[in-house]
Amino acid sequence: MMFRTAELGQRVPKSEFKQRVPLLRQELLEVQRKVLKLSKFPVIIVIAGVNGAGKGETVNLLNEWMDPRWLVTRAYDKPSDEERERPEFWRFWRDLPPYGRIGLFLSSWYSRPVLDRVHGLIDDVEFNKLLDSIIDFEKALADDGALIIKFWMHLSKKEQKKRFRELEKDELTRWRVKEVDWDNWRLYEKFEEAAERIIMRSSTGVSPWCIVEGSNRNFRSLTVATIIRDEINKHLDKFESATTIGHDISDDDGAEATEASETISHLKSTTVLDVMDMSLSLTKKRYTKDLQACQAKVNLLQRYARKHKISTIILFEGPDASGKGGAIRRLTAALDARQYQVLPIAAPTDEERAHHYLWRFWRHLPRAGKMTIFDRSWYGRVLVERVEHLASEEEWRRAYAEINAFEEMLADSGIVLIKFWIHVTKDEQYKRFKLREETPHKQWKLTDEDWRNREKWDEYVLAVNDIVEHTSTRVAPWNLIAGNDKRHARVKVIKTVCDQMENTLNARVKKWNEDK
């Protein structure tokens, strides 16, 4: 789920690559020089991920592009005698770069948790304990000023197979694919699950993961180098502003954020929204028939959920005029009015503004068996508040972890959580805006703000991509719905609600029967 954003087939053509590299190398050397000159903090770069996704190549490239004298590269094999006789983290502590240097760590402390989990050598408890140790370790370093940048290089199962095949074809690279690589490939899903868990748990505010699509060499090289350059620059700024008089930190953060995001966004030419099939549609006849069928079903399921005291939360996000309201009305038309509540989320009230941003959502959680539908939601923090700079970069970055923790609590308490992004293309939105302008009874729906938001379309798209990357978890995955055809979207929404409710209810009832 989480890796959807890294299976988009991102590419950078050779010509563009060649054109961009000289400046980027120069900039990398420049930030490296600055870190060395300041010598107040180390930079710790972790490169982990799927085999064949270019971990080793990336490390080699960075050694080529930067000044290797101030670069420490570490890869870890089985522990030596010396290492085995000491606590596991001894070797990592020993190898940490001093202040002013950059350390490149291949897999390193993430290697054992993944492998042991996949091969069933440790259970969930031990797995979580290992992750806790990692979090403590990274927090201690970050508290001490270290900049930690973590890359997870991703390949889909298909791409990984392709990559191994390619390597095997060439005499010179054949040695790089071992039997164990194929063995692991067959366990791909297990690896993916362990990886998701690791990324969710250890993406703390101080050391978030960057998931990088690994299939195209040019794309991943530029991505990694650009992120390193930008993160180091931001970190240098923080150190400088902490010692500069009269420097307003929060404003500065905002400015930096934009600059950095734009550069990365320039690379990310494809987002999860771009690969959606926006041509999906339904004929009127088919629509009428399907709608009736799935409305009947959702009514039944909601009565069943009510009986078993299972609550449901459904949230809708999407651009202005993407049809969220229409979809919600088609859904609620099928429900008993006493059992659901629709909450349109606009600007917070005074009372809400005087609390943590999640407080307003906590207060509206449904009672047992009820359904709450949020028309816009807590994702405002990482959408409008991010794009409009209402939240600082630190605040919205931290929000992914906060939201994941919040949603995990909902799921743990037995609530069914269903998340929708209803999407329309920019052209379709324009058409709908124009239609609203021209239709008297629809004019109220269109405000100046809608036009202003439209100007920031690309920034919103990037924010959505990040949302899917960071919050499409196993317990609460995102459903991206093509909304250019309203009929398709409405039916698809209700069908998805049915599927997700049905799955959860079945699993729950099965578990109850087993427990009895």
- Binding mask of the shown chain, residues 391 to 430, with x at each position contacting its own copies by CB under 8 A: ----x--x---x--x---xx-xx-x---------------
- 183 conformational bin, left if phi > 0, alpha if psi -120 to 50, beta if neither: alpha
C-beta closer to its own copies: residue 18 or 309: 309
Using CB under 8 A as the binding rule, whether residue 358 contacts its own copies is answered as yes
Using CB under 8 A as the binding rule, whether residue 245 contacts its own copies is answered as yes
Of the ranges 11-19, 49-57, 274-282, 364-372, which one interacts with its own copies (CB under 8 A)? Answer: 364-372
Is the CB of residue 326 less than 8 Å from the CB of residue 490?
Answer: yes
Using CB under 8 A as the binding rule, whether residue 276 contacts its own copies is answered as no
Using CB under 8 A as the binding rule, whether residue 93 contacts its own copies is answered as yes
Using CB under 8 A as the binding rule, whether residue 88 contacts its own copies is answered as yes
Distance CA(249)–CA(240), nearest Å, equals 10
Strands 478-482 and 340-344: unpaired
* DSSP codes of every residue in 160-176: HHHHHHHHHHSTTTGGG
Q: Helix-strand-coil percent breakdown of the chain, rounded to 5?
A: 60, 10, 30
Distance CA(65)–CA(17), nearest Å, equals 14
Using CB under 8 A as the binding rule, whether residue 182 contacts its own copies is answered as no
* DSSP codes of every residue in 235-301: HHHHHHHHHSTT--HHHHHHHHHHHHHHHHHHH----TTTTS-TT----HHHHHHHHHHHHHHHHHH
Using CB under 8 A as the binding rule, whether residue 471 contacts its own copies is answered as no
C-alpha distance from residue 228 to each of 198, 206, 293, 347 (Å): 21, 15, 52, 36
Q: Of 166, 183, 262, 351, which one interacts with its own copies (CB under 8 A)?
A: 351
- Interaction with its own copies in 201-230: which residues (CB under 8 A)? 205
- The residue count for binding its own copies (CB under 8 A) is 56
Q: Of 365, 384, 475, 505, which one interacts with its own copies (CB under 8 A)?
A: 365
Using CB under 8 A as the binding rule, whether residue 174 contacts its own copies is answered as no
Using CB under 8 A as the binding rule, whether residue 362 contacts its own copies is answered as yes
Classified as helix, coil or strand, 446 is coil
C-beta closer to its own copies: residue 85 or 514: 85
Binding site for its own copies (CB under 8 A): 39, 42, 82, 84-90, 93-94, 96, 98-100, 124-125, 128, 133, 136, 140-141, 143-144, 146, 205, 242, 245-246, 249, 309, 311, 351, 354-359, 362-363, 365-369, 395, 398, 402, 405, 409-410, 412-413, 415
